[in-house]
Amino acid sequence: MGRADAGTAKFQSKLLKAAGLQKLKYYCQICQKQCRDANGFKLHLGSPSHMGRISNLSKDGKGASVVLEYLAQFEREFLRLLRVNHGTKKVDANKFYQEYILYDLDHLHMNATRWSSLTAFVKHLGRLGKVSVDSDESAEAFNLTILYVDSFLQAMASKRVLQMRTDEEVLMKFITAQVEAGKKLQKEYATGREYEKGREGRGEDAEPELVSEKPSAPAKVALSLKGLKPKKTNVASVFGPESDEE
């Protein structure tokens, strides 16, 4: 079958088919080529270009690392879009995967990873604790609802809980110490009361009180100059005895 010429109806039909969404299982991530059906995908896998890329990866020993890189990138982009579009709200896993596909037509496809189905991938994220997975058993079809788990918010919540526990422990230790101190004082008081009652029962006198003696008043000393007055001495005059009469 010859190639359709540009401008023909067949050429336009092929362009329209290529512009629409194709089946993801017919996409080659290494070559970044989308095939429209199983026959085209089979022919591509046997093409020299595809075989050459696979051969180069095998020679360099990067085959396993490429698959791990695809897995990490797919998981990172999946969780980022889930956090941005829905936050911590529940959403149907299949509907969100359709959002992921339509968000970027050149996105990394899941068939490039080791996951063969969306259910297996979602359960893997649930086991890692990155999303919360719930199954709707009441629905007719098997549906999984996922909810993004914000590790930062969880860490902050855990930190607050730990801080509250620490504060409670400190408060309980303080209360326990106060109670023990109260019990100790009560025990000492009860011991003192029993001792006083025992003394009263034996009829022992109370300890004599120490009375401080007041100092006696200082003795008054009377000083008298009597007897210390000099005696008058009669001195004989050279003119004779004095007389009142001449």
Q: Is the pLDDT of residue 239 over 70?
A: no
Residue-wise pLDDT tens digits, 82-127: 988 888 888 988 899 888 888 877 788 888 888 888 888 998 898 8
Which of 51-60, 67-76, 153-162, 215-224 shows the lowest per-residue confidence on average (mean pLDDT)?
215-224
pTM attached to this predicted model: 0.52
Q: Over the stretch 22-76, which tens digit does the pLDDT of each residue have?
A: 777 888 888 888 888 889 899 999 999 999 988 888 887 777 788 888 889 999 9
Which residue type, as a one-letter code, is found at position 144?
L
pLDDT of residue 215: 54
Tens of pLDDT, residue by residue over 58-68, are: 887 777 788 88
224 pLDDT more than 80: no
| Band (246; pLDDT cuts 50, 70, 90) | very low
Residues with Cβ within 8 Å of 108's Cβ and at least 6 positions away in sequence, in order, are: 29, 70, 73, 74, 77
- Sequence letter at residue 81: L
Starting at the edge strand that comes first in sequence, how are the strands of the sheet with 144-148 ordered?
91-92, 144-148, 131-135
Examine the pLDDT at 4 and tell me if it is beyond 70: no
170: CB partners within 8 A, 6+ apart = none
CB 131 within 8 A of CB 122: yes
Q: Which residues pair with 146 in a beta bridge?
A: 91, 133
Task: Please give the mean pLDDT across all residues of the chain.
Answer: 75
What pLDDT does 35 receive?
A: 85
pLDDT digits (tens, 9 = 90+) for 119-151: 889 988 988 888 888 876 655 556 788 888 876
Specify the pLDDT at position 48: 92
Reference 97, options 79, 113, 114; nearest CA is 79
Give 16's strand partners: none
Give me 206's structure tokens.
């109370």
Backbone angles phi, psi at 113, to 5 degrees: -100, -175
pLDDT above 80 (res 2): no
- The rounded radius of gyration (Å) of the Cα atoms in the chain is 57
What pLDDT sits at residue 193?
Answer: 72
CB-count exposure of residue 82 (10 Å: 0-12, 13-18, 19+) = buried
